[in-house]
Structure 1
């Protein structure tokens, strides 16, 4: 959906499709039919923005077959849907029974991440509505925190610089500007917005900025106003925001609270858990580690990276 900001610009609100995993182009088309169009009709809108997730196989099918890409765009139009953003974080297997750490592969030290993101940018430029000239893609925040040394950091920097050059060339060719947002996530090399400032100012291009995920922001106990001010002061752009809430346990020392939290521990995804102490953030990689014993101090509230709908 489109909204008019007080400054006169257009704000796009999109329904993210990676909550309905599909690895193939046929699966993506089924998402449009079974989920996205019904949501649009329920809202009573003529058009609904969707944030597509195109897994490796779906992206490959589209990038190698212009007719399939034209068919996808026609299907979007027929169902009253439009695409201005892609979720480029998961690469494949996001609907597997166990994802956990695999969601961070390939990372930005792997040439395949650059190739896949380049393909996504080309696809998004072709899918943007005729009256829209800018699109965004969210991606993983460089890599999981280990192993990540100076050599890995240099490889990631080089990949991002190359991507920025390709995005420049894509705009010259198509007239469409595609921007990338690294999505800070607990446990990653870029865990907080503050962690993002150094690598992004090193790349020094407005093409690549930050995707603010409000669940991740909350899990790391970041103050939104302070985080946004620091990014603005550093000249880091925010091409995209993803809106959801995190789990918050005010009194994690209580047995009934532990029991309630344990119900959210599940085998598919990591649910990094954090608490704020006088010495800084303390955390575990997953929720079950936190609730099972004394891995975290429980004298202050806990927050877990479990994406809760805002309603």
Structure 2
């Protein structure tokens, strides 16, 4: 019995020592964190930040943005000036709302503001920002820009698709003529959207929108456009970015990307198989031009198949989004 008492007393002493040690560790961790936060706040206060509206914990200034965000931005800029700092959740964001500030950012300080934040959904859908629109400024961006300016955005390249526009307009006139003879109504808005879509499809893919998988592909393209602008916890609340899995965004983005990627692989393979060297360069579509640059090695080491697939996806998704807005 005496032995049990001694053992219990020793155990109690050890337990007391352990509790005291844990308490000291927790106290030290708390004081260290508090000291770090105070130091961080003081260092941040010394920086020359633009004016910033009062923010709430976690959500920042999101509560000050209404359904019409441009009007909310205008009201905030009227109160705090042409350049202010907003905290959209946990993401600091600069808001410039005057021509002078825009010139300062886009021209005078262009090199400092050249890089842009890639929203997480857009980064996943557009191959990690491999195209010119999302790629970081640097040697890689410069190398990607060269073939795009010379082969895709030049006046000669734009004029080379003139025959496509003429053919599509002629088809529209013929359809309107047939409907007028049959005395049937014409949905001119829808017909104009179809023409615009056919032109971009023929310029990029070498085929009409109505052919084969047109409607199915249009649906996937619209999903890309919508998801690239979807709300993601990773963008506004990085600390709880895992919430995107529970909202289903991860699954939707992954599924849409796979469908679009498979379509682009088929389209590229189709153009490779039907490639005709005798075809004049002014009648080549975007995929054929990019393939020539890639296979010829004239685009530098940065233009990969992944890069020009990102370019194709970017152009098509924007085109479909604009068509939807017109509708």
Higher-strand-fraction structure? 1
Greater relative contact order: 1 or 2 (C-alpha under 8 angstroms, separation 6 or more)?
A: 2
Q: TM-score, normalised by structure 1?
A: 0.22
Higher-helix-fraction structure? 2
Structure showing greater radius of gyration is 2
Q: TM-score, normalised by structure 2?
A: 0.21
